[in-house]
Amino acid sequence: MEKFNTLLGVNAQASAYSNGSAQYVSTETHFINDIATGLKWQCVEYVRRWLCQTKNISFASVNYAYEIWEQVDHCYHLKTKTPQPFYNYNNASSTAPLVGDLLVYAKSFLQTGHVAVLVEVNLKKKWVRLAEQNYQNQMWPANYSRQVNVSVTKKNNQPIYSIEDEHLLGWKSLT
């Protein structure tokens, strides 16, 4: 586990930093171009900053990561403030996960949940790659924090996609 403020990795110009411990919560708010992205270096802060830097969008404030699943139904464009809907897809969905989707974890994960960004999806090889902060606080192997297996099964002749990660509620998508 790396100490607080250590650079862990970078994806799409969004740097991820160590929080030092999953139990530690900084009281310092991080800003990017006068936009509050969240508390240093929490998972929600990274996801919001990644969205700001890659898609020029953000979403409303939440107290805990798991709240994103039920409380955040749209994001908004940073300059125009135009809302754009977020769609929830439960884990084990007939809708495949896509790059840029947010993985949202239940409250049962450390009582706060967790959130990460899907930065690579390879359904043929049955894995996805994530970018995140405050998960293991370890150096990234490349431009992603970890790789997670995906199972693809059939139900009523339709593919069902399940990301094999405990406590995962599903993915939020802009499409």
Query: Cα separations (Å) of 151 from 32, 56, 69, 127, 148?
Result: 37, 32, 22, 8, 10
| CATH code at position 58 | 3.90.1720.10
In DSSP terms, which residues pair with 139 in a beta bridge? Answer: none
Q: Does 81 map to a domain?
A: yes
pLDDT at 175 over 90: no
Amino acid type, 111: Q
pLDDT, tens only, 48-63: 999 999 999 999 999 9
Please tell me the pTM assigned to this model: 0.96
pLDDT at 22 over 80: no
Query: What percentage of the chain reaches a pLDDT higher than 70?
Result: 100
pLDDT at site 55: 96
Mind spelling out the 3-state secondary structure of 91-108? CCECCCCCCCCEEEECCC
Q: Does 74 map to a domain?
A: yes
In DSSP terms, which residues pair with 163 in a beta bridge? Answer: 150
Q: Does 96 map to a domain?
A: yes
For the chain, give the mean pLDDT: 96
Number of domain units in the chain: 1
Q: Does 1 map to a domain?
A: no
Q: Does 2 map to a domain?
A: no
Average of per-residue pLDDT across 89-96:
97
pLDDT at site 33: 87
pLDDT at site 8: 98
Task: Name the residue range of residue 94's domain.
Answer: 7-173
Q: Does 100 map to a domain?
A: yes
Average of per-residue pLDDT across 150-167:
96
Q: Does 134 map to a domain?
A: yes
pLDDT at site 24: 87
pLDDT at site 23: 82
